[in-house]
Amino acid sequence: MDESSLQSQFEHDFSTSTQSVHGKNAANSPYYALHTPIVHSATYRFDTTQHLLDYMEQKTWGGGADRVEYARYGNPTIRDVEDKLALLDHGADAILFPSGMNAITTLLLTVLRAGQHLVMTDDCYSRTRQFALQWLKRFNIEVSMVPMGDYEALECAIIPQRTRFIISESPTNPFLGIVDLPRLVDIARRQQVMTMIDSTFATPINQKPLDFGIDFVVHSATKYLSGHNDILAGVLVGADQGRMRVIRDGRGILGGMIDANSAYLLSRGLKTLGIRVQQQNHTAQQVAEFLEKHPNVERVWYPGLVSHPDHAIATQQMCGFGGVISFMIRGDMATTRRFMDALRIPFIAPSLGGVESLIEQPAVMSYYDKELDERLELGMTDNLVRFAVGIEDTNDILADLAQALEQL
């Protein structure tokens, strides 16, 4: 897409997302409340035994019911937010979890069986990779890691009759690699394998993988979706209602139920998702272009830059490039630490996607427990920095980066 097409698509998706999260059907809102009420109840009553029997009949044989009997299986506040999230990602259904990792682990534990096989790209989130390589092995589930962007290696890694799933991220963390979604879907369909994309960095505003044929999308709702760094949450959105029903049942067994208060805060955050992401897209593009020209910066990774290896793919399937930039300071560990400490606006902290700018040096935070050789094998050099922009004034952020870099 060219710049005008991207802007047009963004405006359409922003309008759609705003309608999705604000809904105007008051008849479906308890007490005609403007905001989704927080329902505090661990258990739910039935008026008569016939009422209970009708419910159980519908739940067991009718493919679902419009209410629940116990909080581990659902909650009206949570269900309302799930409906909004399904609309945002163009999914058949969405399931909320207490964290993004819980969404991923529940999905894999529900759909995978002993003796089956999983293919994963190597630029996935460290905890996702850890769960796949260390925990799934305990259940006799084999995992193959393939280089991000190597589709020939990915297809070769598929074992006929055994490979069940391909999972990846787009954009990836921290190098912002972009999966060629149509190509991935083509491979998966020919090989009869399911697909999952962690789309946390993109948000449903910038990218909708289900529209390309991906089976499942995961978001750490802690990040952009809630947007205020005050809750933990995760969401799984699926294209097939039947598969999602199985996973919803799995959530009830495994117990990964988010609380109603967090669901409410997530619902409140969704109302400003579009305008927050629009500001973060704009600021991140400006920051990436500034950093790429600065003599004290060695290299920059951002999909909105022509220099990014996946820029062409990103422009074809994304409406915006997100709020995270990764870059390398020209110098060593000490030089990079001086740069970090000289900044005044971003907080040194993990996570991303909130209204506050956050910055981290992966070597001393996310990968501190790794030996140097392990870190370097993953590309986590001492001078690598990941910057997640917030919604502060763009010029203020640029000025802050400039003064910190000049001190080097």
- Which are the catalytic amino acids? 72, 125, 198, 223
Helices and strands: H and E segment counts in the chain: 15, 12
- Computed from CA positions of residues 16, 233, 169, 158, in that sequence, does the dihedral angle turn out positive or negative? negative
- Given a contact cutoff of 8 angstroms between Cβ atoms, the answer to whether 167 and 124 are in contact is yes
Distance between CA atoms of residues 57 and 199, nearest Å: 36
Helices 260-270 and 76-88 cross at an angle (nearest 10°) of: 30
Q: Which amino acid is at 157?
A: A
Which has the closest alpha carbon to 264: 66, 404, 121, 84? Answer: 84
- 234-238 vs 216-220, strand pairing mode: antiparallel
Q: How far is CA 32 from the centre of its chain?
A: 32
- 358-360 vs 347-348, strand pairing mode: parallel
Q: What is residue 344's DSSP assignment? A: S
Distance between CA atoms of residues 207 and 197, nearest Å: 11
Which has the closest alpha carbon to 164: 202, 127, 120? Answer: 120
29 CB neighbour count, 10 Å cutoff: 15
CB within 8 Å of 154: residues ≥ 6 apart: 119, 121, 146, 166, 184, 187
| Secondary structure class of 357 (helix, strand, coil) | coil
Residue 23, both tokens: 């809904």
Beta strands in 78-132 (DSSP E): 93-97, 117-121
For 22, 62, 177, 179, the CA distances from 150, given in Å and listed in that order, are 41, 43, 12, 10
Q: Which amino acid is at 249?
A: D
